[in-house]
Structure formats: C-alpha cells, structure tokens
Structure 1
Amino acid sequence: MTRSMIGPAETEAATAPRIGMLGGTFDPVHLGHLRSAVELYEHLALDRLHMIPAPQPPLRGRPQVAAEARLSLLEAGIGDTPGLYADGRELKRAGPSYSADTLAELRAEYGDDARLVMALGEDAFSRLADWHDPERLFALAHIVVIARPGYPIAQTQRLGELIGQREVADASALMQTPHGGLLRVTLPSRMAISATEIRRRLQQGESVRYLLPEAVERAAVARQLYQTNDYPTDGCQAGE
C-alpha cells in the first residue's frame, strides 16, 4: 500500500510519522536482511526504518565479530538506500539489549502520535512471551511479524494470551493507532540466505558473491572478518 491509498477518514493517521525498527545481530548483514528491510519499508509506507544491531540479545548465542564491526558492515550494506538507517544506539548500552528500552527511546524521539512498528521474524515471534517485559512492547509499538511460508510456528498458550485481540488484517488498519496492534505480513522476496553459511564460507575462503552486498563483501575480506573461529572478547551474547 501507499500513502495515496489512504482515505479522508484516515487523515490524522496519514499525517503521523511511520517509523520502523528491525533488530538483529546482522552477523553479517546479507542480501536477505536488506531485501526484507526494503520490502517492509514499502509495504508499511514507512518514513524511516531503523536497522539496529544488537550487541547481546538475551535469548541468543554470541555473534562472531564485535558489535562495532557489524554496525560498520551494516552501514556499508545500506549505502544510500532510501529510508533505511543503520542505528547503533544499542551498542552504547551495558548489559543485555532489551527491545522495549529501544522502543521507548524511539517513542520519545518521534512523539506520542508516531506509528511505531517493531518487525521480527516468525521464529523470534514464537518466543515473544519469553522476552523482557513483553506487554511493554505493545504499549510502545505495533508488532509486525514477517511470515515464513512453509515453516508454521506453534503458538503457545502464553503467546496467545499476550496477543489477545490485537491482530489486524492489513497495514491500513494497523496504522490507525500509534501502538498496540499485531500484523503478519508475507513479503514478496523470500531469500533463504544463511548467515551461518556465509560465516563458514568466509572462514574457509569460499565465495560469498551474490549472498552479500559487494560493499559488505569487500569490507569483510579486507578486514579479515569471519576468517577465524575465535569469538570476540567484548562480552557479546547474540546470534544470527
């Protein structure tokens, strides 16, 4: 959908900024991440999509390279892509990276009327009830779940209770309010690219062409990132 499709009754919703947050370890950022980000930006008619590397997500394992290097690769991968923004705010925090804290910062920056969206994949969504203060997520933002057709996720009772009656049918309905909704989307391009396989290929000196943006590939090779099985010593505890 586009802003031009929004009717007169939705004028107030149409004038509010639409801001997205897409977190991850981006270890490293690849074409699957970036293509999903572009399609999400377009589908929700966002004004800006913050792509935020996490130094140590509490429910994941450690990343292979330091957070600052992953942010640098993300900046290289995004380049001049309209609407996408490499946001390193979580790298400045000590301890685990809680999404609710990041959403609170974005809410304070963009205001109470902003349509704030946190996007995540189905795998992460299936564990949402185990996240830190999950009710606060909906108090601050909408949740958009990027579906993976063919990979059904069983919904637990706790997750069902958390979702309640929040789910809406489309982006237009979601954007009628600043926060509190849930939308599932299936993006057009489903690129089954594995960051684990990319790391293995880089470590073995194998080609990663057409898996990474050229700028990311050049930077990773030049800096000899992922060419060892050693993990960083910066205390990170994140995964893909």
Structure 2
Amino acid sequence: MKPLAIFGGTFDPVHLGHLSVAWEASELLDADVRLMPASVPPHRPPPTASAQQRVAMLRAALQGQSRLMLDTRELEREGPSYTIDTLIELRAEQGDRPLVLLIGADAFANLATWHRWRELFDVAHIGVLSRPGVDATLPDELEREVADRRTADASASQGLSAGKLIELVVTPLEISATRIRELLAAGRDPRYLLPAGLFDESALLAPYRR
C-alpha cells in the first residue's frame, strides 16, 4: 500500500521551499503527501494570516497536480495542534497503511520537547528532511530513542506501518516565510519565492501588505 506522508506547518504563507521538499519527499517515498496547516502551533507565535486565508493560499498553490493534497483537520480542532493527536486520528482512518510524518532536521532535533513525542513512533514513521552533507546533533535522550530505528532506505516505509526514522536527503530552497512577509509589508513583490497561483489572485496576499 502506498504510504501517506504528512507535512505540517503554519504555511504563513506557503512558499516554494515548502512545496519543493514535500514533492521531493513524495518521490523518494513513493507516497501521497498531505499538507496540514496548524491552527495554534504550540512552539511558535500565532500566524499572521487567518486559518481561512492560509487555506485559500494553499488551495491556489496546489492547483494542477494530485500528488500534494490539503488536509485541514488541525484547523477544525480547538486548542493547540498536537501532532500525536493528528497521527492517532489518521491511524484510525487509514488502518495499517504506512504513515510518515515529514519534519525538517532542525525541528527534529527538538522532538523531545514535543507533546507525547515517544508515542509518535507507535503510530507513524518519521521522515527527517535533511540537507546533503549536513548532520544535526541530537540530544542524548532523542538519540537513544532513535538509534535502532534509523534508516536511509526510503522504501522502509513500504512494509511497515510505523516505527522507523527515515533519513530523506532533499534539496532545500533557502526561502524564509518571515522574509517573504517582510517584503510584502514593504510593498515589494517576492515573485519566484511563492507559487504562481498566489499572484493570480492578489487578494490572497493581502494579510501581509501594509
């Protein structure tokens, strides 16, 4: 059964860096990918754009292809967006289908601060998106947890529903959502940093313009 990968974030706004690594991970894993915007992210300030505005931007960005899909379940849940709750819900829906949580290497290094983080491996694999030749140093607690789970074989998710740490070397685009918001607030046009669909409807970027 083809794996289902989950790529979360605030997507404030969604940019080409998000889409590029999600697409590349999809190819490496031979997986469908759901982009899942967070409602109230526990580890960062609230988004500038509203939930409805971020969903509209994602819909525009994902037009014309079927590999990357939108999943709004975290926006429909009250309170903080805890990843473990989302994965448990998806596991109940998907049965034994392999699930892969996609997460950047920097964020993964802080996994031990996440809510019920050890339980993530009970319901999903974790696919760590890393840059070529860059190895992040992990806290001892996290390193002990993942030592026997680690693999660089992207096909490892095919035969197991959960439990592996899969290292996915992707080609990152050095694009910052913070910088994009600054450019828009200054009246500039960050074309080629954002999906073309966001410029087709200028109102989509209104939350960031002064």
* Percentage of identical aligned residues: 42
Q: Which residue number in structure 1 is paired with residue 151 of structure 2?
A: 168
Q: Give me the TM-score of the superposition, normalised by structure 1.
A: 0.83
1:100 aligns with 2:71: no
* Whole-angstrom distance in 1 between the partners of 2:89 and 2:54: 21
Q: Which residue number in structure 2 is paired with residue 227 of structure 1?
A: 209
Counting matched residue pairs gives: 210
Matches within 5 A, 1:64-103: 64-103=48-87
Q: How far did 1:130 drift?
A: 0.8
Structure 2 portions without partners, runs of 5+ = none
Q: Which residue number in structure 1 is paired with residue 7 of structure 2?
A: 22
Give SS of 1:64's match: coil
Contact residue 120 and residue 146 of structure 1 kept, 8 A: yes
* Whole-angstrom distance in 2 between the partners of 1:202 and 1:73: 15
1:205 equivalent among 169, 176, 187: 187
Q: Give me the TM-score of the superposition, normalised by structure 2.
A: 0.94
Based on CA coordinates, which of the two structures has the bigger radius of gyration?
A: 1
1:42 equivalent among 16, 21, 27: 27
Q: Which residue number in structure 2 is paired with residue 236 of structure 1?
A: none
Q: How far did 1:152 drift?
A: 4.2
The alpha-carbon distance between structure 1 residues 163 and 56, as it changes in their structure 2 partners (threshold 3 A), is same
The alpha-carbon distance between structure 1 residues 108 and 152, as it changes in their structure 2 partners (threshold 3 A), is same
Q: Which residue number in structure 1 is paired with residue 42 of structure 2?
A: 58
> Match for 1:120: what amino acid?
I
* Whole-angstrom distance in 2 between the partners of 1:177 and 1:96: 29
1:158 equivalent among 141, 155, 159: 141
Deviations 1:68-104 (A, max 9, x none): 2111101110112222111111011111101111111
> Match for 1:155: what amino acid?
L
2:103 equivalent among 104, 113, 120: 120
* Whole-angstrom distance in 1 between the partners of 2:90 and 2:74: 12
The alpha-carbon distance between structure 1 residues 135 and 38, as it changes in their structure 2 partners (threshold 3 A), is same
